[in-house]
Amino acid sequence: APAARAARISKAYGRGDARVVALDEVSLNLERSRFTAIMGPSGSGKSTLMHCMAGLDSVDSGEVFVGDIEVTRLDDKRLTRLRRDRIGFVFQAFNLVPTLTALENITLPLDIAGRKPDQTWLDTVVDTIGLRDRLKHRPSELSGGQQQRVACARALVSRPEIIFADEPTGNLDSRSGAEVLSFLRNSVREMGQTVVMVTHDPVAAAYADLVVFLADGRVVDQIPEPTAEKVL
Ligand code: ADP
Ligand code: ADP
């Protein structure tokens, strides 16, 4: 089964004349160990799709699964647990805690959950982000690209089913952006992670295995195109 999937999900905001259809029967499979990019013009529904798939926002109709869990049927308590235990988030703003070191920021989700890090996994994550010599630094002592790599490592530390990244390079110059994208790609290639990223940037999307294009709340294109086999 895919790491996550949406089946004909629809979502509208507002009522009457103010009603906006953000998603119109969108279906999407996010296969395991694959890096998917979602592109499309502003207002095409990218954020809404990501939020609905990550259990941050409700759908009007259709179904969302993360693994074998039907997200669209969970109550708030179970949703919170799903987001905490099975999903990693990376945002445009790095959202690091300024008073904690890089390593403390990375392990924060485990500390909050009262869990011990899996040391082998933590080593792999830290080696892959390439920040061994910066682990004792605070965010203010790191470049933007380094901070975002710390935020990515924090998202990975609990070995989530899937990572949702919303414009992860939106605040970065192209070189720092490339560092973050390489890390996300390596987490897929070398660690088998599943990653989905919303981006405006075709250069960023080029790091992905699959690019899905949205327009007016619908999937209008996909690269590479699905083969007949996969559609069936
Ligand atoms: P982006 O295009 O980068 O996804 P937007 O500026 O469209 O960002 O949206 C930023 C945030 O504001 C999102 O969380 C979105 O849900 C919310 N938002 C977007 N459009 C509206 C709107 N018309 N009314 C209220 N909130 C909105
Ligand atoms: P994108 O991420 O591609 O920019 P969004 O998912 O943010 O697109 O928005 C899709 C549509 O839904 C847009 O027309 C946007 O204005 C609208 N929208 C998004 N969030 C809200 C909201 N909270 N309230 C009202 N309209 C919204």
Q: What is the ipTM of this complex?
A: 0.70
What spacing in Å lies between the alpha carbon of 21 and ligand 2's midpoint? Answer: 9
- At 206, the amino acid letter reads A
What spacing in Å lies between the alpha carbon of 164 and ligand 2's midpoint? Answer: 18
- In this predicted structure, what is the pLDDT of residue 182? 93
Q: What is the pTM of this model?
A: 0.85
Ligand 2 neighbourhood includes 58 CB (under 6 angstroms): no
From the CA of 214, the nearest ligand is: 2
Nearest CA to ligand 2 atom 27: 13
On the question of pLDDT at 110 being above 60, the answer is yes
Please state the rounded mean pLDDT for residues 110-117.
Answer: 90
Q: How far apart are CA 197 and CA 32, in angstroms?
A: 14
For residue 104, what is the enclosing H or E element? helix 102-113
Nearest CA to ligand 1 atom 4: 47
Q: 97 — alpha (psi -120 to 50), left (phi > 0) or beta?
A: beta
Tell the residue number behind the tokens 């792999």, with chain if given. Answer: 124
Beta carbons of 197 and 184 less than 8 angstroms apart: yes
Ligand 2 neighbourhood includes 145 CB (under 6 angstroms): no
- In this predicted structure, what is the pLDDT of residue 232? 47
- In this predicted structure, what is the pLDDT of residue 129? 86
Nearest CA to ligand 2 atom 14: 43
Ligand 2 neighbourhood includes 45 CB (under 6 angstroms): yes
Beta carbons of 115 and 158 less than 8 angstroms apart: yes
Residues above pLDDT 90, as percent of the chain: 84
Omega prior to 224 cis, within 30 of 0? yes
Nearest CA to ligand 2 atom 23: 13
Residues above pLDDT 70, as percent of the chain: 97
Among 39-43, 59-63, 133-137, 188-192, name the one with the lowest average pLDDT.
188-192
Beta carbons of 85 and 130 less than 8 angstroms apart: no
Nearest CA to ligand 2 atom 21: 13
What spacing in Å lies between the alpha carbon of 13 and ligand 2's midpoint? Answer: 8
Which two structure tokens, joined as six digits, stand for 35? Answer: 């890096």
Confidence at 86, pLDDT banded by 50, 70, 90: very high
If we measure between CA atoms, which residue out of 151, 168, 173, 149 comes closest to residue 207? Answer: 168
Ligand 2 neighbourhood includes 42 CB (under 6 angstroms): yes
Average pLDDT, the chain: 93
